[in-house]
Amino acid sequence: MANPVLVEVTRGDGVESRHRGAVAVVDGAGAVIVRLGDIDRPVFPRSAVKPLQALALVESGGADHFDISTEELALACASHSGEALQVEKVEGWLRRMGLGIEDLECGAHPPRHPDQVAEMIRAGEEPRRSHNNCSGKHAGFLCTALHMGEPTGGYSGPDHPVQRRLRALLSDLGGCDLSAAPHGVDGCGIPVIAMPLVAMARALAAMANPDGMPGPRAAASRRIFSAMTGYPELVGGDGRFDTRMMAAGQGAFVVKTGAEGVYGGILPRRGLGVALKIDDGATRAAETAMAAALEHFGELGGGVTGPLADLLQPVIANAAGEPVGAVRAVIEWNYAMY
């Protein structure tokens, strides 16, 4: 059966496009609170699980050994925009570990923001690997490998201990066997393993309920949550959905985007983990669906919705800047399994 339509794109008085997808919400006991669409189908979690991946950096002792700052930890969980400040901080972290940009095994790509791209073009500057939106995560991998006495070269390979640890973490927190799961290579070159959407929600729910975790993991989880909510401008960038949402939330929740329409959410107040995937991979739909989930679970109260209206229902504008349509969530929470 097809997944339900979660988001519609309107133009004038018509619906122009429709995005289907699945939403899984799980509580601290592992109970499924919302089941919309096929949440048992494996999806590549992409960057939406960066907060989970960062657990290895903290738990291993690497973060403490290299005395990383809260900003650096936020960058380890980031899909950053490649803004000058973000890139400088990652490069500084690498230098402090005695490493350089060339040790990053992610490819280079231009920064996300057109203004930043224009600035680099004017300065005759080429994108560096540190501009890659995952460069902070990769700095974290290097940090862990160095601390553990593992080779830094090849840390992105599927058999390197760094990647084995990530696999064990996701399997453990998600409560799922990933040994036979579909696997591929992520945009930044590391292995990516598909996990059921409900398992992804379960793993995020674990981070939303650190009291249920063993002591060191609970501390690591709290530290990561604080870093992301404390420096939302480093986790995304100027004008980005995650940055604006987490800034508005003032420490209440974490939301983390992933490529191809994946999103993760950590909601400690209600102790919930949220995972969603838009079937067709559209970011516009994933963001709008995540905004609707935050609103549904009461995370956007207290006058926050007004300033965030353009995230809850983004306007489609024509080339002259006139509004001609909107992206709107049409999620039937009432029919979701509670």
- Return the closest-CA partner of residue 111 out of 78, 142, 140, 155: 78
- Name the one range near a copy of itself by CB under 8 A: 89-97, 221-229, 275-283, 292-300: 275-283
Q: Would you give the end-to-end CA distance of the chain in angstroms? A: 20
User: 150 vs 280, which CB is nearer to a copy of itself?
Assistant: 280
119: amino acid identity, one letter:
E
Q: Choose, by CB under 8 A, the member of 20, 270, 296, 328 that binds a copy of itself.
A: 20
Per CB under 8 A, does 165 bind a copy of itself?
no
Q: Which of 174, 249, 251 is nearest to 205 (CA)?
A: 174
Residues paired with 192 in a beta bridge: 184
Q: Which of 33, 58, 97, 188: binder of a copy of itself (CB under 8 A)?
A: 188
Distance of CA 164 to the CA centre of its chain: 20
Tokens of 162: 């760094």
Q: What's the distance, CA 333 to chain centroid?
A: 23
Using the minimum distance from each CB to a copy of itself, give the nearer residue, 31 or 185: 185
Output 29 or 319, the one with its CB closest to a copy of itself: 319
Task: Give the ranges where 126-196 is alpha helix by DSSP (H).
Answer: 135-148, 161-174
- Within residues 192-221, the interface with a copy of itself by CB under 8 A covers 192, 194
Interface with a copy of itself, residue 332, by CB under 8 A = no
Minimum Å distance from CB 187 to a copy of itself?
5
Which residues in the 87-116 window bind a copy of itself by CB under 8 A? 106-110, 114
- Residues 122-135, buried b or exposed e (16+ Cβ, 10 A)? eeeeebbbbbbbbb
Which residue ranges make up the site for a copy of itself (CB under 8 A)? Answer: 2, 9-20, 42-44, 106-110, 114, 118, 121-122, 132, 182-189, 192, 194, 260-261, 278-282, 285, 318-322, 324-325
